[in-house]
Structure 1
Amino acid sequence: MARPSWMRVPRWLRPRAGNPDGTMTLLEHIHELRRRLMIGVIAIVLATILGVLWYQFGVLGLPSLGELLTEPYCALPPGARLTLGDPNRCQLVAFAPFEQLTLLIKVGVAAGVVLSSPVWLSQIWGFITPGLHAHEKKFARVFIGTGTILFVGGAVMAYLVLTKALYFLVTVGGGIQITALRGDDYFNLLITLLVIFGVSFELPLLMIMLNRVGIFPYATIKAWRRGLIFAIFVFAAVVTPGQDPFSMLALGLSLVVLFEIAAQVCRIHDKRAAKASPWAGLDDDEAGPSPVAGGPEQASTVTASAPVAASAVPPASPTGSPSRADFDDVT
């Protein structure tokens, strides 16, 4: 029985039958890329609609997304934030007619990208996988999984730090003035902090990847340790949007801890690679490639050839050069 037309998958979303070895022509690559991009975009759009609804209403007994994201602001003392409207509710301030709609769309898109990440990450993975070998696929899964965990960990750290950072920012004036915090400003600060912490937490993964390919060995890390730690704190001081000491120190100290963990992983990897090398324990002049097949242990000593007997050399002809007959007499 044929399916109704509305239940059929559009032709541009159907995967084309590929070769058994996974090879594709240029047009097949373009079609596959377009198909996976469209699937990812559709997933983001649907998840954005869910994010917009979740921003306003609770889901499955959970508080709304708006309540979760405004919790660091609502945790401030009542005297440190401006209260307008209902005094029993914690609300941000909007100064423009369309500001709430813009904020709703912005938060909904950010939530949609996060909620649909399993779909578009799997599409990226499916597009890359045919060109990888079996061991490369295994390492790619580990790096993708580790990168996701690190990004989520950085976002959680930023959410926890935001309460302290906000308290410092709104009370630094000594109570002389009160901060009327706009919703757009607050969510820009929150989203920027989440992204910065999440991306910065990918530092150990980047170090390990560069170490795996031989670009960033542990010897270089050890020699540059002090300078790299100083650069980490400078980076934390520059990129944190609030410029408060709590977010700077939290980001800097967290990155230093992750840096040391990644350095130890690189040290263990380099140590194992050195033991597995066939040139381990040899000096620099001995570790070069041997001209004899089988390695340096099978190289034989080249002995000088025996001198040619004097009788084998033909005598000179009267003209000063040997003739053909002279060579014929040599046995």
Structure 2
Amino acid sequence: MSTPEEDENGHDGLAEGPEGDEPMSFWDHLGELRSALMKSALAVVGGFVLCFIYATEIREFLALPLHDAWREAGLKGEPQLQVLAMMDAFITDVRVAVAGGIFVATPVIFWQLWMFVSPGLYKREKRFAIPFVMSSVLMFLAGASFCYLLVLPWTIQWLFGYTQSASADTPVIYNLTLNDYIRDTTKILVAFGSVFEFPLLAAFLAAAGVIDHMTLLRFWKFAVVIMFVIAAFLTPPEPVSQMMMAVPMIILFFLSVGVAYLLSRPHRRATEQALARIDEGDEP
């Protein structure tokens, strides 16, 4: 009678579960989920408070692409952001603090997510915990930076140019509001940061055995359509920023396919070994 070979995780097919794997009731899982959500929420609240304290500095930082685009468009003077209601400045600072709080809390959120699923992972897979959390921050920062340095200036400059060309014979006065500008800016920054997390999400689901590369490839056409819809919804209503968001999303999707292929191999091997044992007449 043949003896199955051990897989990369040091386990004999699927006969043994992950190290330390013990049966848990539904309520145990629910309790762990509640604990993870509470800790993540507290991290967001802490980040919110920190960012609210520095909301003025963050607003000035977010306004820099507007100033750059204003000068590139050849407009006179400096752009001014108007406040139309007494509560606008406060509401704007709250919006800035919420977006900043989510970013600051990103390491805690992903750490809690990893800890929630880690009991179901093999020892080899648990080694990815710290790289997973660090990558979540770096990928979000990469997406937000890409948006801040390229997408925002180009989008604002294109909109200025379009307005000027469409009203060449009529002088145009820009009445930009603080609330609208910060709302649109934070929304698109968070959107780009979240989009750049796609490969990490694929890695997480593949490591947990939820998906593999074939699952993603099977629906790639639908995924591309959905990405263009998401880009149209999250970006200003003009083609430049929509394309600048949709194209990276598509590239990141196919990068996610490669990540899923690499990380789902242990699960595929374990499944193949278990099926081979059944075919040979061994106990599963």
Task: Give the structure-1-normalised TM-score.
Answer: 0.59
Letter in 1 for 2:136: G
Alpha-carbon distance in 2 for matches of 1:211, 1:35: 21
- In 2, are the aligned partners of 1:23 and 1:130 still within 8 Å (CA)? no
Structure 1: unaligned runs, 5 residues or longer: 1-20, 57-63, 281-285, 296-331
Residue 100 in structure 1 maps to residue 89 in structure 2:
yes
Kindly state the Cα deviation for residue 168 of structure 1 after the two structures are TM-superposed: 1.9
Kindly state the Cα deviation for residue 249 of structure 1 after the two structures are TM-superposed: 1.2
Which of 256, 260, 273 is the aligned partner of 2:254?
260
Q: For residue 172 of structure 1, what is the aligned residue in structure 2?
A: 162
Aligned partner of residue 179 in structure 1, secondary structure: coil
Q: For residue 304 of structure 1, what is the aligned residue in structure 2?
A: none
Q: For residue 63 of structure 2, what is the aligned residue in structure 1?
A: 70
Alpha-carbon distance in 1 for matches of 2:31, 2:254: 42
Equivalent runs, 1:117-128 vs 2, <5 Å: 117-118=106-107, 124=112, 128=116
In structure 2, the CA distance between the partners of 1:214 and 1:236, relative to structure 1 (3 Å rule), is same
Letter in 1 for 2:61: L
Q: For residue 157 of structure 1, what is the aligned residue in structure 2?
A: 146
| Bigger CA radius of gyration | 1
Equivalent runs, 1:1-331 vs 2, <5 Å: 37=38, 41=42, 44-45=44-45, 47-56=47-56, 64-77=57-70, 90-118=79-107, 124=112, 128=116, 131=119, 135=123, 137-160=126-149, 161-173=151-163, 174=165, 175=167, 176=170, 177-213=172-208, 215-237=210-232, 239-269=233-263, 289-290=278-279, 292-293=281-282
Kindly state the Cα deviation for residue 223 of structure 1 after the two structures are TM-superposed: 4.8
Give deviations 1:180-238, integer Å, cap 9, x for gaps: 1111000110111012212222222333444445554334544544453344334323x
Structure 2: unaligned runs, 5 residues or longer: 1-20
After superposition, the CA RMSD in angstroms is 4.4
Identity, % of aligned positions: 24
Alpha-carbon distance in 2 for matches of 1:205, 1:153: 13
Alpha-carbon distance in 2 for matches of 1:294, 1:113: 49
Task: Give the structure-2-normalised TM-score.
Answer: 0.67
Alpha-carbon distance in 1 for matches of 2:35, 2:218: 46
The count of residues paired between Structure 1 and Structure 2 equals 255
- The structure with higher relative contact order (CA 8 Å, sep 6+) is 2
Alpha-carbon distance in 2 for matches of 1:294, 1:198: 48
Letter in 1 for 2:145: V
Alpha-carbon distance in 1 for matches of 2:140, 2:53: 25
Letter in 1 for 2:80: Q
Kindly state the Cα deviation for residue 163 of structure 1 after the two structures are TM-superposed: 1.1
Letter in 1 for 2:247: L
Alpha-carbon distance in 1 for matches of 2:55, 2:205: 40
